[in-house]
Amino acid sequence: MNRTLLLIMCDFLLLNLLALTRWEKAEPQRALDTPAPSAASASASPAVNADMVELMRISLEDEKSAREQLATQLSSTQGTLTEREKALAQAEQQRTQLQGALATTTSNVKELERKYSEATNESFLTKEQLAKMQRELEERRLEAERQKTELARLERQNTEARQRIENLNVAVKVAEQEKQMLGQNLEQARAQVEVERQERFKVQEQTTQLAQGVGQLAEKSTQLTKEIRDNRPVNPNTIFGEFLANRVQLQVNTQRPGLFSPSFRERDSQTVLVSDGTRAFAIMHISDTPFAWNWENPPNYQKIAGRLTFGGTTAPVTELQFLELDPRVLAVPVSEDLAGRLGAKIYSVAKDPFKFPDVVLVRSEDGRYGETQVRIDAANRNYLRLDNRIMTRLFGEISPKRGDLVFAKTGEIIGIMVNDEYCAVLGNFAASHTFQLGDNVAQAGTQDVFRDLSARLTRLGPKLQ
């Protein structure tokens, strides 16, 4: 509400209050002056009302004028806002155009940089070609000097030859005089020349045979060196030191249903990378994993995960294979890229595991190793039988144990102990069952897999179990 209108209304109310108040009740009654106030009041009230109405009309007109001014200002502001929006749209359009121009300019700059790089490369190639031509020119100059020297030498030889020819001419003249004497010896000389020719031919044949013999001797020497290297036993200390430098850590985690909550298990093992000639694998015994040995009623695992670690490099395991060779031997395939990132040595499988009567036994869990004799089991050609009364030269007595790695005396790997007496000979990495690993990957049918593995183990017989 307008402030002026409020003041006018307050004055109007005050005047009405003063006009309508009966002052005769507040003051003592005077007999002579009683009618006068009523007349004055009656005459004053219409005049005051007229003034108040006039003041209200003026106030309303002022208010209307103020509102019209506000409407005009609002219209002007809206116009200004519209113009600013148009200006903003134009500025946005200009910005888009500038961005397009900037992209074009950037593309042009890149094209110029490419052309500059090509020009620089061409300049570099021109310099290289010039240097090459200079080198060829220098080589030709040196060749010309050499030929010049050779020509001078030939000229000297020619002069000497002419001198000898002259001497020979003199000798011929002398020989003509002695022709009669030489005629008698001519046939003998021809015969001697023929003999010398035949002897020279024989010498050439002998030289050829000798060269062939030298080549064969060199080839046999190379084969002999390789055979000696392949048949030379390596010190067990060297084999164990190489194992310590190249062992990788393999961790397997499992989750299976429990009585009240899921059961989690984790197991770490130390092993090496083995190659079958095309792919690499990390091998281990099932006892080095968290899989339960309840073969009659195996659990159905919900999750299986794992990882390989070597040095400062760690990589997840995506696949776990049970080998057809033996149900207790597991292999983790390692890609060529992962093997390169790990950097550990990849052992070759021994081609002839029966070459030496002794093998080197390595146990990763307690760091013990030693030599032991092996026997061939005619009924089980895929296994080696180890003497469990082994005595090493370095650390005293040690007996084979399941999970131990068996190395040949040449440093190649033979296999892994499946029990305390028999070693499964590696070579066949075909898988009978495969688990796809990974976090939060449910394994379907693991119970059936372990039942099949249990049946295969039973069929191996008591000695191999």
| Tens of pLDDT, residues 36-87 | 444 444 444 566 567 667 777 787 777 777 777 777 777 776 677 677 677 6
Give the Cα separation of 388 and 408 in Å (integer).
17
Entry field: residues in the chain:
465
Highest mean pLDDT among 212-226, 296-310, 333-347: 333-347
Give yes or no for a contact between 448 and 456, defined as CB atoms under 8 angstroms apart.
no
- Give the pLDDT confidence score for residue 260 in this predicted structure: 81
Cα 239 to Cα 410: distance, rounded to the nearest angstrom: 9
Sign of CA dihedral 262, 252, 308, 429: negative
Q: SS3 of 440, please? A: coil
Kindly state the average pLDDT of the residues 323-332: 94
pLDDT digits (tens, 9 = 90+) for 11-20: 778 877 777 7
End-to-end CA distance of the chain: 105
Q: Which of 180-184, 352-356, 459-463 has the lowest mean pLDDT?
A: 180-184
The kind and range of the H/E element at 108 are helix 35-177
Residue pair 271/247 in contact by the 8 Å Cβ criterion: yes
Sheet with 303-310: strands ordered across: 263-271, 248-256, 303-310, 313-316
Cα 455–Cα 286–Cα 270 angle in degrees, nearest 5: 165
Q: Is the dihedral of CA 115, 117, 121, 127 positive or negative?
A: positive
